[in-house]
Structures are given as structure tokens and as C-alpha cells.
Structure 1
Amino acid sequence: MPGHHPARSRRPTERKGDVRERAILDTCEALLAQKGHDAITVGDIAEGAGITRGALYFYFGSKQEVVTALVARTVEHLWERSRATAKTDEPRQAIAAAMQRTVELWNEHGPVMRTAIDLSLTVPEIGELWSHTADLFTEAITAVLERAGVQAGTEPDQASAMARALCWMIERTFYHASQEAREKLQKASSTCEHIWLTSAGLTA
């Protein structure tokens, strides 16, 4: 790609030991919480990271590339949590643990996750990351529903279809709750947990 710097194509896992890149991403996350995506400039990120704009461009070609790398770093945490959910054997415990981890993630990375959702339709790289994240969570929810006795399959009353609907319901519910106050996240979690338990036939 013309003008594409090799450093920009590195995966986030290759940058973990690089203090400067980590500082850029940490600064971007802090600025998302303080100012929101639209108000942030490359200069803001560089200043917060303690480097010049030129130094920042050695690592990232634009603000969008910084945000995309930050989303990639954040969804790695999401993927780890989804795998943990899928491995918990007892359905009630799995659901409770999954919802508590969801609250923790939105508390820790809410601004990044809202930004990922907002940009997922217009930035292909972010859209792909977020879609893959949703697929992993859907798989984890499907596994929990099937362990609870819901029939496997893609029909409306079967585990896979129910899991996809639950996944997107949880995403949208937490998105709105996180815009209001952190206290709302716990209430959102309790509601989503109740719906998930009801879907799994575990409320009796």
C-alpha cells in the first residue's frame, strides 16, 4: 500500500514490550474518556504520551490507526473473558461470572468499547474486530445455553439463535448504561443476567 509504514501493520501482541507504543495507546484511552473520539487530535495523543507528532507517526499513520490498535488491545481482554465463560461447567455460575466480568470490562474500558461500537460500521478494521468479538461471545453463550438443556441449532427457539440475540442485547444494554453512570452497569448486568437465566430455563 503506498505510504504504508511497516510498523503500522504490527499486531498489538508484538508491541507489548514497547513502552512508547503502550504510552500512545494508554493516552488515547484516557483521552477517549475525557474528550470523546471526535474531539481528540493526533497532537493531543502525542502530547499526552510525551512525544512529538513526528515520533507518533513512526508508530501510527493517523488517529484512526491509534484508535484501531487500542480497540484491538481491548478486544483481546474481551476474548480472554469469553473463553473463561465457555470453560465454566455449571450454567448458573457461568452466567453470573460472565455478567460480572462484563461489568468489570465496561468499567475498565467503557469509552473504548463505545468507540468501537460507534466506528464498527464505518471503519472496516474495527468492524471486523467487533464482529469477531461478538461471534466469540455468541459461541460462549451458546455453550452455556446448551449445557443448561436448550436444544442445539439455529431455529428461533434453539441455542445458537438465542445466544446471538442475547449477545447483541447485552452489548446494547451496557452501551447505554455506560453512558449514564457506573452504577447503571450493575443494574444492567442484573437485568441481562435475569433474561439469560430465563432463556436457559434456570429461573425456577
Structure 2
Amino acid sequence: MKHTPVNPALSRHEIISRLGKAVHPSPPDLNKYDQTAVMALFLFNQALPKLLFIQKADVAGYPWRNQMAFPGGHVDETDDSPLETALRELEEELGIVPENVEVIGSMGHFQTINHKDIHAFTGIWNQQGPIRFDPVEIRRVFQIPVPHLADLHREKKYLGQTPPILDLTYPFQDVVIWGVTAKILHHMLDTLMDH
């Protein structure tokens, strides 16, 4: 499959620069939402940059059963900041320690229909050490090429548009990224791509 460039030179430097300079969604009234944080991790082990996603476990009764997501979870009282939450959850869920992550920064706030505010962060994993996860919580881990996601973003005419949440989907192999994870991804791709 031939990929449409996300940008003519989507280098590590350009990703950091574009995400750092962009205007990201502001926080809502945090007293009205449960606070959570996620980490969208880039990998640069080959020519194409990739993003790391998890697929939640296939457990009956689990509210996030089989959903695609960025690693993350609830902000604990012991966490000093939402960024600390995102890094802690990354280590707990995948065994990726904070010292192996170059944090790019905040990508803003995204709300779910069940009153959760997700503070999304981006970072780059140096890929030191293996990924380790508990199959009770996580079914699979995906490394999805960013150009594949950008192609979908352009083909579905999402670029510069905000489609209704139920129409916002990014399929990959036998899974689909949807819901608030798709909303975060949409904002990221709109930030990285040339309009």
C-alpha cells in the first residue's frame, strides 16, 4: 500500500515541533469530570513513524472490552500531576519505564460521554526493554504506522473537519479505533498533517 505523506518530511523533529506549537483542547471544569491521563507513544525504529495502541482484554462485563486505546488510567491522589499518571500507567500496563520515554508534552483534554476528562500526552519511546502486559487487562499491543492513519484521515475527509463521534473511525487489520481514542487521534493527525 502506497502511503500519502503525512508531511513531506515527517521527522522526529517535525513531530515534536508541530505538536509543541499547536493549540490543544483546553480543560473543562475538572470538578465535573473524573480525571484520567493517557500517553500516545511514537516509535521511530524504521523509516515510518508508528504509534503504540493497546486493545483492552476480551472479558465479559468489562466496560472497555476489546476497545483500542492509548495506555493510561485514572489520576490517583498520590500522583503529582496527570503527566505522572500517564507515565505510571505506561509502566504498569506495558512495562515501559519513564526514563525510556522522551515526553513531547500535553496534547490537551478530551471528554468521554461517561464524564471522564482525558488529559492526553505524547512521547517517544526509545524501545529499550521488552513490552510486558497482563493478558487479564490487555489483549494485544499494536504498533500502527502513522502514514496508514494519515491516509485514512485524508480518505475519509476528516482533515480540517470534525465529524460526528459515531462516524469517526480508524480501522487497522481486524480492529477499529473509535470513541474518545479516535477523537484524540483525529486531533493529533490534524496537527501533524498539511491542510
Q: Which has the higher contact order (CA 8 A, sep 6+)?
A: 2
Structure with max Cα Rg: 1
From the two aligned structures, give the one with the greater helix fraction.
1
From the two aligned structures, give the one with the greater strand fraction.
2
When normalised by structure 2's length, the TM-score is 0.30
When normalised by structure 1's length, the TM-score is 0.29
